[in-house]
Amino acid sequence: MAKTSLVGTVISKKPPAFGVELRRWRTLRRVSQLELANQAGTTQRHLSFMEQGRSHPGRAIVLRLAESLRLTLRERNALLFSAGYAPAFEETSFDGPALAPVREALAQVIQGHLPYPALIVRRPGRLLAANRAIAVFLEGCSPELLKPPVNVFRIMLHPDGMAPRVANLAQWGRHVVENLSAMASQSPDRELNALVDELAGYVPAAPAGTDHLGFAVPLRLTAPEGELRLLTALSTFATAVDVTVAEVMLESFLPADAATTALLAERDRLAAERGEPPLLALGT
């Protein structure tokens, strides 16, 4: 009886935080214990014991599991913490001296992208820097939306932002929301989830039919000079080992037709004649 009681007591204990987190991520990624064990270089039995709290993981196996589960650097730090380990990846201030080379490199890229709009964003949409061409996005925006911290996606879809000037808001806006939703499903985050819910409420239902170029959904933005048709490209640091750098994204806009090319070139020529700096100080 004593032996049975002891076994029952052990089994009834709740798994530690690490086991709960590991199982949550494995379920979210829809991988079996065997699949994850093979990817991380361990056994299914060991993985099962870790999830049940019967085996305490070493730091190395936690990192291998996190990599196999395709966790972000922030999520890897959190998984390490749940197992009782210190974070493995630094989170450096974007404005600090350590990331000066990163800021300078990004500034050169977005300045070199002129006369087309380009900006630097940090998840979940915080604007860090932009070139002067994005002024076309900000025309008519409510001053409230431009108060730091500025959220790029809110500017784009909010009814007091760009939205009234987006000719294909239903199609393009839904595309933006769906991309953010996919990001949130891969890496659940309370702030990002709340932003997705907010933005979805700004986008009208898309009508039947298509509104694209055959290969991408353009942003059709009305400007005083005419309609702009722009495509979006996103870039990230693929080999980042700092949380901040990993969460930084370069978003650049490219003209989808000759008329947009000419319009943006003329706007930038006039901006240069007025002495406007190539980079805007927004989002700080």
The verdict on 15 and 112 lying in the same domain is no
Which pLDDT belongs to residue 216? 74
Which pLDDT belongs to residue 233? 94
End position of a domain, from candidates 38, 55, 82: 82
**Token duo for residue 30:** 């829809």
Range of the domain at 151: 97-280
Q: What is the pLDDT of residues 42-84, one digit of tens each?
A: 999 999 999 999 999 999 999 999 999 999 999 999 999 999 9
The verdict on 102 and 55 lying in the same domain is no
The verdict on 138 and 169 lying in the same domain is yes
The verdict on 184 and 226 lying in the same domain is yes
Question: What's the 3-state SS for 66-133?
Answer: HHHCCCCHHHHHHHHHHCCCCCCCECCCCCCHHHHHHHHHHHHHHHHCCCCCEEEEECCCEEEEEEHH
Give the neighbor-by-neighbor strand order of the sheet with 226-236: 219-223, 226-236, 248-255, 118-122, 126-131, 279-280
Q: What is the pLDDT of residues 26-44, one digit of tens each?
A: 999 999 999 999 999 999 9
The verdict on 253 and 123 lying in the same domain is yes
Residue 89 lies in a domain: no
With bands split at pLDDT 50, 70 and 90, how would you rate the model's confidence at 16? low
End position of a domain, from candidates 35, 55, 82: 82
Residue 266 lies in a domain: yes
Which pLDDT belongs to residue 266? 98
Residue 92 lies in a domain: no
The verdict on 254 and 215 lying in the same domain is yes
Q: Which residues of 101-113 are buried (b: 16+ CB within 10 A; e: fewer)?
A: ebbeebeeebeeb
State residue 112 phi and psi, 5-degree precision.
-70, -15
Which residue is it, tokens 């009305």?
222
What CATH number has the domain bearing residue 131?
Answer: 3.30.450.180
Closest to 107 measured CA to CA, from 265, 281, 279, 275: 279
What CATH number has the domain bearing residue 27?
Answer: 1.10.260.40
Which pLDDT belongs to residue 215? 54
User: Region 8-26: what's the mean pLDDT?
Assistant: 72
Which pLDDT belongs to residue 269? 98
Residue 20 lies in a domain: yes
Domains: count for the chain: 2
The verdict on 114 and 247 lying in the same domain is yes
In total, the chain counts a number of residues equal to: 284
Which pLDDT belongs to residue 280? 87
Beta strands in the chain (DSSP E): 118-122, 126-131, 219-223, 226-236, 248-255, 279-280
With bands split at pLDDT 50, 70 and 90, how would you rate the model's confidence at 11? very low
Residue 87 lies in a domain: no
The verdict on 115 and 7 lying in the same domain is no
The verdict on 45 and 136 lying in the same domain is no
Closest to 134 measured CA to CA, from 250, 219, 253: 253
Could you give the CA distance from residue 43 to residue 45 in angstroms, rounded to a whole number? Answer: 5
Closest to 162 measured CA to CA, from 149, 148, 176: 176
End position of a domain, from candidates 82, 108, 130: 82
Sequence letter at residue 281 = A
- Dihedral sign (CA 62, 187, 19, 27): negative
The verdict on 52 and 156 lying in the same domain is no
**What one-character DSSP code corresponds to residue 242?**
B
The verdict on 104 and 78 lying in the same domain is no
Q: Say what the pTM is.
A: 0.86
Residue 68 lies in a domain: yes
Which pLDDT belongs to residue 1? 41
**At CA 102, angle to CA 101 and CA 107, rounded to 5?**
100
Q: What is the pLDDT of residues 104-143, one digit of tens each?
A: 999 999 999 999 999 999 999 999 999 999 999 999 999 9
Q: What is the pLDDT of residues 156-213, one digit of tens each?
A: 999 999 999 999 999 999 999 999 999 999 998 899 999 999 999 999 987 655 554 4
The verdict on 121 and 47 lying in the same domain is no
